[in-house]
Each structure stands twice: as structure tokens, then as C-alpha cells.
A and B are shown apart, each in its own frame.
Chain A
């Protein structure tokens, strides 16, 4: 159904375009389902602003590297493909680093070395190897968009919980008035682990519940 809005995308064998895009958002969500790219996820999410900046940077790198890797997928010999992928990713990360520096120095300072560390975000290399190296350019871009947005949603989930509890604000706007005693632990490293663990628990509980309901429905029919 999305083939109309993406004119350049050719529909041929393999998964449907809409399916490619939405699997990154929910079914194959890189954060909550695949547990990939955990380092920036934990380190950068102590405020919503940082989380959004990191999400956009990762999305850009993922889409661009997926597109380029898909373009060269027939030229690159199998033995050196991982090295080629990493070099392509590193190039786009360098571009992003200089872009962020040009746009906003405070954001650049807040993200620090974690911009450069996008290179070793295993989610990006994972998509290159698992998807972009086997599919057309259009589909790889869609996959990059879906996965990147899924990753950004994960960052946002973590960032908002941590900023609301740890600083009592959202995007720097105070939420609870002057008497709120900030729960500083959530801005510190342990808070990152606890928040992500909590989100994973919520997802596991949701999935368990769905499975139980499906079992019940099957049992009722039988």
C-alpha cells in the first residue's frame, strides 16, 4: 500500500514495502525486541533533548548507509564486506559529527564521544548485513527508516522517563512545580539500567498477556 507514496520503489520479490517499514517500528523493534544498540540507548538518554538528537543522528546514518550498501552490494566481494560496511558507516558518522557541530555546539558537547560511537552501534551493522546487503535500494531505505524510527522511539521512551523522574521536567519545562524533589538516581548510570529493564519488563508482560489471551481463545474454540 505504500508503493504509491514511494514512486521509486519497485515492488518485486521479498517482503512488502509496508511490512518492511513497520516491522522496524514494532515487530522487530531494535530496542525492545532485538536489544541492539544498547550503549547509546543507556548513555545518552538522561534528557529528552539528547535522546531526540541521538535518534535523528542514528536515523540519518542508518538510512544513508543502508542506501549506499545496497547500491554496492553486487560489487563488494564477500570476504571484505564487513570492512566495507564499517568504512561506509564511519564515513556517514563523520558527516553527522560535523553537521551536529555546525548546528548546535551544546548538543555536540552533550553527546560527546557517543556521536563517533554510532560507528559501532551493532544495530546499524546488523541491518547492513541482514537487510541492505540482500535487498533493493528502495527497500533498504524503507528498512533504515523503520528501524531508525523504532530506535528513536526507544530512545524517547527512555529519555522521557528518566528526565521526568530524575529532573521533574520534560524538554527542560518543569512539570511538577518548585516543591518536587528530583529523583536524581534516574539521571545517574543506575537509572539508565533500571529504566531500560523496566521497559523490557513492561514489553514482556504485554507479550505474555497477548499469548495467554490467544491460548484462551483457542481453548474456548476447541
Chain B
């Protein structure tokens, strides 16, 4: 059992150990869909959805696996949970808000292979978080992912018209920007006590 307070877990996952910029999870969507603010924002919101639900279900599943003494099934269980959560969220959004469903488009199914989602489930297990802590951790981590994605997309939109050397266009430039952002986020390290 881990006895960190809920507020510190949230801030830690959101800023201090930001999932994208400090732990390196969810880099592929971070590089891939950070070109436009609108898509980045939608992607972020759907990740928050999926992470919250899957971290809740993964907590329950882990208790079940522990009770059955079957920890070796953990990775397979988690990936099945995530894949079905994505499917569920997809059906739910399609039913309740067709407009949002159309807006999210291809990004929804792609969340299955976003390592931030599996990362949340694995980290909350490794740190032995309780149910409330797991949910808050999932929320903080996915909000942190959205924050990094949105910041990057805004920077990239502004850089669209600027004069960048030919060879630095594309991924190389995004990685350099991410490095600078990551240095800025290191400033939050002083806030965390543990």
C-alpha cells in the first residue's frame, strides 16, 4: 500500500513526472498528431476518457489476478482490457454523441497502442496504489499527456510559417522542441517531495 496523498499523486503525474516529457510514454502520438491544435486537443480528450476507464478496470483485474495467484497473466490481461475499453468508449461515444465520434475519427482505435495507457496500468500496479489513488493517477497522467500535446501543437502551428533549415523539418525539429520543453518541465522537479 502506498500512502501518498491524492493531490501530490495528481500533480506528480501532471507536471513533475509528465508522462510525455519526463517518463517518455506516448511519444508516437506526441510526434504524430501534434501538427494541428484541433486534432491534438481531440486526441488528448479521448486519451483522458480511455485512461480513466482502463485504470479503473485494471485495478479490479489486478486484484482478481492477485487473488488467483496468476500475476504472469498481467500483461495479457491489461492489453485485453485496454483494447476492449477503447472499443467500449468508441461505441459509447458513437451512441451518445455522433458529432464527437466523427471529430475523433481514426484516433480512437489508435489509442490501443498508445503506451501511455498501458503505462498507467503498469505503474499503478508497481506502486501499489489504492483504487482512489489509481484513478487520480490515471487522470493526472492523461491530463499531463494532453497538456504536453497541446503545448507542442501550438508551438508547431506558430512555426508553420517560420524559416526552418530544410533538413531540420519534421521529426528532428519536433524532438529538439520536445527537449527544450522537457528542460522547462524539469523546473517542476523542486515541487515534488515524493
**Residues of chain A having any CB pair with chain B under 8 Å:** 35-36, 38-39, 42-43, 82-83, 86-87, 90-91, 93-94, 97-98, 112-113, 116-117, 119-122, 125, 185, 188-194, 196-197, 200-201, 204-205, 208
Contacts and interface: CB of A to CB of B under 8 A. Distances in A.
B22 A201 contact: no
Q: Helix, strand, loop or mixed for chain B's interface? A: helix
B23 A116 contact: no
Contact of B24 (A43, A82, A87, A120): A43
A208 B168 CA distance: 11
Contacts of A90: 75-76, 79
B179 A120 contact: no
Interface centre among B75, B83, B115, B173 (most CB of A within 10 A): B115
Nearest to A207: B167
Contacts of B180: 190
Contacts of B64: none
9 smallest CB-CB distances across A and B, nearest first, come from A197-B175, A193-B179, A43-B24, A204-B167, A200-B172, A38-B27, A190-B182, A194-B179, A120-B115
Contacts of B53: none
Contacts of B123: 113
Contacts of A83: 80, 83
A96 to B, nearest CB: 10
Interface string B108-142: 00001111011100110010000000000000000
Name A's interface SS. helix
A120 B80 contact: no
Nearest to A117: B115
A118 to B, nearest CB: 9
Given A90-B76, A193-B178, A200-B171, A122 B113 contact: yes
B31 interface: yes
Interface residues of B, number: 43
B76 A87 contact: yes
Nearest to A123: B28
A36 to B, nearest CB: 7
A102 B117 CA distance: 27
A97 B75 contact: yes
A192 B24 contact: yes
Contact of B183 (A43, A125, A190, A204): A190
Given A94-B76, A191-B179, A208-B167, 5 more contacts: A35-B31, A113-B119, A117-B119, A119-B118, A121-B115
A47 to B, nearest CB: 15
Nearest to A120: B115
Interface string B21-55: 11111111001000000000000000000000000
B166 to A, nearest CB: 7
